[in-house]
Amino acid sequence: MYPSRLSSADALELLRFDGLPKLGEAADAVTRRLHPEPIRTYKIERNINYTNICVSGCRFCAFYRDEKAGYVLDDETLLAKVAETVELGGDQVLLQGGLHPSLPLEWYERMIRLIKVNFPSVNIHGFSPTEVAFFADHFGLSDDEVLERFREAGLGSLPGGGAEILVDRVRRELSPKKATADRWLSVCRTWHLMGGRGSATMMFGHIETLEERIEHLHRIRELQDETGGFTSFIPWTFQPKNTHLAGPHLAGTPVAASPTDYLKTLAVSRLFLDNVRSIQASRVTQGLTIGTLALSFGADDLGSVMIEENVVAAAGTVHRTNEAELRQAILSAGFEPHRR
């Protein structure tokens, strides 16, 4: 089906390649072939973290708290957040929280229904595969039972959070209490085979090797060959501040991946993932300047205004913007901005 697609060895060689401009040109050529229209897209949405109470204790996360120090959003606050999103032109909310040890499954179903009853036109992009796996194990259900109950309540699409690096060596060190790589992929497969769609992500620039980055991309491509259910891929860089992770540089102080590393990995992702139509820039971690440059390195989407974002912000990275600035950034890159 893909006689000329890149092998994993090819992709690894490109990650090691020093010619960043040439790599960008190659990725941009693929993007322009897939998206020949002179437009690049963005979205207005809100990331609603319904709780920060989490038993996973991931070493890369600065957001989670225990039950004594954490919160759970009440109905009034939740609905106010969605209402403000709609008022600002948004039509989607991203629902993600910690792996809470005490909330019943019915609480999550009720939250979905509460949003859909009050805001029927808003898409609920909710619950990462790791959350779904946790719910299934915690409540003695199968993944498909949890997903079916959520879909019945009004879940629209599945975000690709919790993927980190889909290599169990990395996951055992970063987040040993979370779903394995196979389980993360299995939840996505189940959702796709139910007719659902969603995104995939990769958090890189911590303890993984370059070979493991490519293995992550390979596993995403394999599942996409099987189901076609991933609508987009979003690679983003580990943000080290306030986390328990010391980083890969062995100096003892966490550092963020460089813009060069980000753009190179983005470009290789575009070249390797020949079956994923959209690659999204990580403006939230990179800022608007590098995010805009990403539109020349394989990205066709500048992400979202993101009215609220708490997880990356907890790690000390805050890049705020508004719709006018996002549209101007796309124009400055030579494209027409379209809200998706």
DSSP letter at 72 equals: B
Longest CA–CA separation in the chain, Å: 55
The Cα–Cα gap between 178 and 61 comes to: 13
C-beta atoms surrounding 111 within 10 Å:
22
Could you read off the pLDDT of 255-284 as tens digits, one per residue? 567 999 999 999 999 999 999 999 999 988
The Cα–Cα gap between 5 and 305 comes to: 34
* Domains of the chain (ranges, CATH numbers): 8-339 (3.20.20.70)
The Cα–Cα gap between 189 and 144 comes to: 10
For the chain, 340 residues long, give each residue's pLDDT as a single digit of tens: 455 899 999 999 999 999 999 999 999 999 999 999 999 999 999 899 999 999 877 776 766 678 887 999 999 999 999 999 999 899 999 999 889 999 999 999 999 999 999 999 999 999 999 999 999 999 999 999 999 999 999 999 999 999 999 999 999 988 888 999 999 999 999 999 999 999 999 999 988 999 999 999 999 999 999 999 999 999 999 876 555 565 444 334 445 679 999 999 999 999 999 999 999 999 888 889 999 999 999 999 998 886 764 444 443 444 467 888 999 999 999 999 999 8
CA distances from 165 to 91, 172, 173, 291, 334 (A): 30, 11, 11, 22, 33
DSSP letter at 203 equals: E
Query: Rounded to the nearest 10 degrees, how much is the dihedral formed by the CA atoms of 168, 267, 276, 162?
Result: 30
Among candidates 294, 284, 233, 232, which has minimal Cα distance to 261? 294
Q: What are phi and psi of 106, to 5 degrees?
A: -60, -25
Which DSSP string do the residues of 252-320 spell out, in sequence order? Answer: SS--PPPHHHHHHHHHHHHHH-TT--EEB--HHHHHHHHHHHGGGTT-SEEEE--S---HHHHTT----
Among candidates 192, 269, 271, which has minimal Cα distance to 236? 269
- Which residue is it, tokens 């092998």? 7
pTM: 0.91
| Strand stretches in the chain, DSSP E | 39-43, 45-48, 92-95, 123-126, 198-204, 230-237, 278-279, 301-304, 336-339
Could you read off the pLDDT of 180-203 as tens digits, one per residue? 999 999 999 999 999 999 999 999
